[in-house]
Structure 1
Amino acid sequence: MIFVIMGMEVHPFDRLARAVDQLSAAGELGEDFFVQLGTCRYQPRHARFERFLSFGDICEQIRRASVVVTHAGAGSTLVCIEQGKHPVMVPRRSVLGEHVDEHQLPFAEKLGEAGLATVVREMAELPAAIAATGSRMVPADALGRARELTGWLEKFWRGLV
């Protein structure tokens, strides 16, 4: 199962919801999708979804998933890494009305550079990123490195405010 996390952000992330639904309909990846949809206006027709899940349920789905696709939220990303998963990160973009600023992009890029995640900037990259990630695991020291990058993000964000 491929688990997709949209997060709790009030801005919808319809771009990712549509892309995942198209992948699910095509069936080329050979797995079912389960989507934590959040506030998306678009509702998948070919993938199972729940709008919101408890933290415990999200952790359980991450544990069970062969691949996790997540918006580039620090919380969901750190849980993935903590559970040994190498997430596919799709940053929300403020220029597309998906968030209030662009902070998710540099966070995702830093994790990608550190080898802790695969970053998808354009939806056309998503199928290959999922296929390449497979059941790839992160190294044992990954959580410490991810927390360092979260500290970097906090400093970056303070510079914007």
Structure 2
Amino acid sequence: MIFVIMGMEVHPFDRLARAVDELARTDAVGEDFFIQLGTCKFEPRHAAFERFLSFGDVCTHIRRASVAVTHAGAGSTLLCVEQGKHPVLVPRRSSRGEHVDEHQLPFAEKMAGAGLATVVRETEELPAAIAATRSRSAPPDALGRARELTGWLETFWRGLA
């Protein structure tokens, strides 16, 4: 099972929900999907979903998943790493109405540059990213390295204010 985390952001992330539902419809990656859908307006017809899950359920789904795909929020990203995953990050983009600013893209790129995640800028890249990530897990020092990058993110946000 591939677990997809949309988070709790007030802005819907329909672009990712639609892409995952299409992958489920075509069986393009040979696995079922389970989506934590959040506030998306689009409701999948081919992938299982729940709008919101408890923290414990999210952790359980991450651990059980062969691959974790998530928006590039720091909390969800760190949670995936903490649970031993090398997540596929799909940054929300303010230019597409998915967030208030563009901070998720540089954070995702920093995580990928540190070898802690794989970044998907366009949803067409998802099948290849999922295939490449299946056999990867977070290295033993991943959580400490990821937390260092959240310090960079805090500095980045201060620069926006």
Q: TM-score under structure 1 normalisation?
A: 0.98
The Cα shift of 1:134 comes to 0.6
Where does residue 84 of structure 2 map in the other structure? Answer: 84
For the residue of structure 2 that corresponds to 1:135, the secondary structure is: coil
Q: Which moved more, 1:135-144 or 1:5-14?
A: 135-144
Where does residue 30 of structure 1 map in the other structure? Answer: 30
Percent identity of paired positions between Structure 1 and Structure 2: 80
Q: Number of aligned pairs?
A: 161
CA–CA distance in structure 2, aligned partners of residues 138 and 58 of structure 1: 17
CA contact (8 A) 1:71 1:91 kept: yes
* Structure-to-structure mapping, 1:3-152, within 5 angstroms: 3-152=3-152
AA aligned to 2:132 is A
Q: Which runs of 5+ in 1 are unaligned?
A: none
1:85-136: CA deviation from partner (whole Å, max 9, x where unpaired) = 0000000000000000001000000000011000000111111101111131
What is the alpha-carbon root mean square deviation over aligned residues? Answer: 0.6
Q: Which runs of 5+ in 2 are unaligned?
A: none
Which segments of structure 1 move beyond 2 Å, counting only runs of 4 or more?
none
CA–CA distance in structure 1, aligned partners of residues 88 and 17 of structure 2: 14
